[in-house]
Chains A and B, each alone.
Chain A
Amino acid sequence: MGVAAAQPDREVLLEVRSLQKVYNPGKKGEVRAIDDISFQIYKGETLGLVGESGSGKSTTGRALIKLEDITAGTVLYKGQDISRVTGRKAVLEFRKSMQMIFQDPFASLNPRIPVKNILGDALRLHHICETDEEVNRRVNELLDTVGINRSYANRYPTEFSGGQCQRIGIARALCVKPDFIIADECLSALDVSIQAQIVNLLIKLRKETEMTFLFIAHDLAMVKYISDRIVVMKDGKILEMASSDELYRCPLHPYTVSLLSASPVTDLRREKQRKRVDYDASLHKYPSGVSTGMFEVAPDHWIYCSEQEVDRYRQAAAARKKAN
């Protein structure tokens, strides 16, 4: 059975192998939130993870940063198995390298602590700064980086707007100078005009620091805009994986096609002509015994399908390439 292989010439930062997360295993109400997925994240890239609610995209993000226990499979971060990272010290060290930005900018900041302490506590906890003077200097630098006025350092989270809170959330993630940031729907609680500001901030950070990003979202246009490669998930499985240009020019899996066709566009003429394609999930309920997996149907374009379907997808990919 096929498993997506890494491109040989690129440095892998994080590798997920046959990851599974099952809630209530063996009981009534068993949920396979992540159902045997494998993928790689290369150093310095932004990987987009899209899917509808319940697809397992957030659980995947949380599993990678050890906010969720893994049921089976391995996650290798910089070559190290993250399930072996146990104990307070080791986890702290791990989180120094990997950080997360959350969806709800208000709920993810403690309302009773002023901003300078939200950032300062993180700096002290990780022994990045020891003296008050150092902490203050670094807090000011961080606020500059995310575009919050330094004089606001004494304010509490409730005194900020949603966009500003999200900037503070980003500053907190940046405290430890991480190599890898997971952004879980970090735009969806924000107004349109503010979303663009936050996206530009993330892009600026990526340019300046060569950080690696996992960008989890459901807004396809935004994911396409910010990501180098995109993973499409549904019901705990990865259905398609390709570079973002390839995925939008040549979506192959019927689910990706339907997702793209459902995404409204801000161009009236195209929106009025847009034909919605419904996805019939029963097409892909493979009977037991059928061997399924990830297959490469075009260079670095992977599809989840059965062995019988591979040729059809390959032909479709080749035909599309010719047409373009």
Chain B
Amino acid sequence: MKETILSVKDLSISFQTLDGKVSAVQGVTFDLKKGETLAIVGESGSGKSVSVKAINRVLPKSSTRYEHGEIIYQGRNLLELPETEMEKVRGKKIAMIFQDPMTSLNPTMTVGRQIAESIIKHQRLSKEEALREAVNLINLVGIRNPEESSKNYPHQFSGGMRQRVMIALSLACKPDILIADEPTTALDVTIQAQILDLIDELRQKLNMSVIFITHDLGVVAHVADRVAVMYAGRIVEIGTAEEIFYHPQHPYTWGLICSMPSLDTRDDTLYNIPGAPPNLLQMPRGDAFAPRNAFALAIDFEEKPPLFKVSVSHYAATWLLHPAAPKVAPPEEILRRHEVFRSFYQSGEEVSVYGGSSGAAG
């Protein structure tokens, strides 16, 4: 088992808005292992960005309330660190890249100087050394003519190249953890593929851990070792990529998988999840997904389901996994995937399916 580098435990975050309290994250728990890529998927408003921004404490101070929970990194709770200590972690140990590289870069400064500035801030290097290091980093992320490029301004780069600059900037201090918040959403597919491969290559080279936030399951399939699916502020399913793609248990995960057509989808209508995500100001009682859930049980409208254990690495928050739950038939595509799971991934290990004992794994 790989060592855990970061633990988020029962994290709950709310925002004070003019309309009232918004519970953006409710009891999120996950571990990040050394050298792995954890993907967090979910729709807008699911709390995926808020959860990871909390790790670096970059949420607006005035309106954010950390209700409870802790984020443990190197034996310390990041939420309790004084700001001066946090500055030694943020950007240095835990770096972030964002969706829109243009708004994350300073338009009035050459990219070389921006990268050097970050190096000078966190490492004791002279300006010349820092600039040389910046050129090395620009070279590392695959920008041609690094020397020349370092003297260019952000607007002189294309979207994909800017994202490479952002990655170079985030790597300036050789972080342990890279948080990538929808880094390829604004890019074309061909450029997206290059950036995904670059992040993965650097992860291996620098032995980083990556938290990858996206709404695109195709991207998840490309990068993830493990996947957490979020809905309305909670993790509804978490497991290895194999478990989430081929042995999903939560109806929301089923819906996500089925609603994206593959290149050989031929059905007349696409499977879709009816309705829209809940208003976080007025959360329904019980399971937030219940009103959209074709497989909802009566109890879903009364009580939030806990995370049931499917295997040592796989948990899902759905009452369907309760021993007393009735058996339901998932969509055909999901059954096909479960078949794939049985034939390729299940290596003699007993895994409970549909109403089996929730603790049978391992």
Which residues of A approach B to under 8 Å, CB–CB? 52-53, 161-164, 191-197, 199-200, 203-204, 218, 220-222, 224-225, 248, 258-269, 271-272, 274, 276, 279
Decide if B259 touches A225 in the complex (CB within 8 Å). Answer: no
- Bound CA span A52–B192, Å: 11
Q: Which of B3-11, B16-24, B202-210, B267-275 contacts A (4 or more CB under 8 A)?
A: B267-275
The secondary-structure label for the interface of chain A is helix
27 contacts across the A-B interface (CB closer than 8 A)? A52-B188, A52-B191, A53-B159, A192-B43, A192-B217, A192-B259, A193-B255, A193-B256, A196-B259, A196-B272, A199-B261, A204-B269, A218-B189, A220-B263, A221-B261, A221-B263, A225-B265, A258-B190, A264-B192, A264-B221, A265-B263, A266-B221, A266-B245, A266-B257, A267-B221, A272-B221, A272-B222
Decide if B274 touches A197 in the complex (CB within 8 Å). Answer: yes
Decide if A221 touches B246 in the complex (CB within 8 Å). Answer: no
- Bound CA span A225–B259, Å: 12
Decide if A259 touches B241 in the complex (CB within 8 Å). Answer: no
Given contacts A262-B192, A265-B263, contact A200 B269 (CB under 8 A): yes
- Bound CA span A266–B159, Å: 25
Give the shortest distance, in Å, between B70 (CB) and chain A (any CB). 30
Q: Which residues of A contact B259 (CB under 8 A)?
A: 192-193, 195-196
Give the shortest distance, in Å, between A31 (CB) and chain B (any CB). 15
Decide if A268 touches B273 in the complex (CB within 8 Å). Answer: no
Among A204, A222, A262, A268, which residue has its beta carbon within 8 angstroms of that of B245? A268
B340 interface contact, C-beta 8 A: yes
- CB closest residue in chain A, given B244: A268
Given contacts A197-B274, A263-B189, contact A192 B256 (CB under 8 A): yes
Q: Which residues of A contact B217 (CB under 8 A)?
A: 192, 266
Given contacts A271-B218, A271-B221, contact A266 B270 (CB under 8 A): no
Give the shortest distance, in Å, between B343 (CB) and chain A (any CB). 11
Interface positions of B from 135 to 187, Cβ below 8 Å from A: 159
- Bound CA span A53–B271, Å: 29
- Bound CA span A255–B276, Å: 37
- CB closest residue in chain A, given B221: A271
- Bound CA span A40–B300, Å: 52
Which residues of B approach A to under 8 Å, CB–CB? 43-44, 159, 188-193, 197, 215-219, 221-222, 241-242, 245-246, 255-257, 259-263, 265, 268-274, 276-277, 340, 344
Q: Which residues of B contact A52 (CB under 8 A)?
A: 188-191
Give the most central of A218, A224, A262: most B CB within 10 Å: A262
Decide if A199 touches B263 in the complex (CB within 8 Å). Answer: no
Give the shortest distance, in Å, between A316 (CB) and chain B (any CB). 20
Q: Which residues of B contact A267 (CB under 8 A)?
A: 221, 245, 262
Give the most central of B43, B44, B245, B276: most A CB within 10 Å: B276
Give the shortest distance, in Å, between B62 (CB) and chain A (any CB). 24
Q: Which residues of B contact A203 (CB under 8 A)?
A: 268-269
Give the most central of B222, B260, B271: most A CB within 10 Å: B260
Decide if A262 touches B260 in the complex (CB within 8 Å). Answer: no
Decide if A197 touches B344 in the complex (CB within 8 Å). Answer: no
- Bound CA span A164–B215, Å: 19
- Bound CA span A262–B196, Å: 11
Give the shortest distance, in Å, between B199 (CB) and chain A (any CB). 14
- Bound CA span A52–B190, Å: 8
Q: Which residues of B contact A225 (CB under 8 A)?
A: 261, 265, 270
Give the most central of B262, B268, B271, B344: most A CB within 10 Å: B262
Give the shortest distance, in Å, between B244 (CB) and chain A (any CB). 8
Give the shortest distance, in Å, between A97 (CB) and chain B (any CB). 28
Among B197, B269, B271, B277, which residue has its beta carbon within 8 angstroms of that of A276? B197
Give the shortest distance, in Å, between B287 (CB) and chain A (any CB). 16
Among B189, B218, B255, B340, which residue has its beta carbon within 8 angstroms of that of A266? B218
Give the shortest distance, in Å, between B192 (CB) and chain A (any CB). 7
Give the shortest distance, in Å, between A157 (CB) and chain B (any CB). 15
Given contacts A262-B190, A264-B219, A267-B221, contact A196 B273 (CB under 8 A): yes
Decide if A196 touches B270 in the complex (CB within 8 Å). Answer: yes
Q: Which residues of B contact A271 (CB under 8 A)?
A: 218, 221-222
Decide if A265 touches B215 in the complex (CB within 8 Å). Answer: no
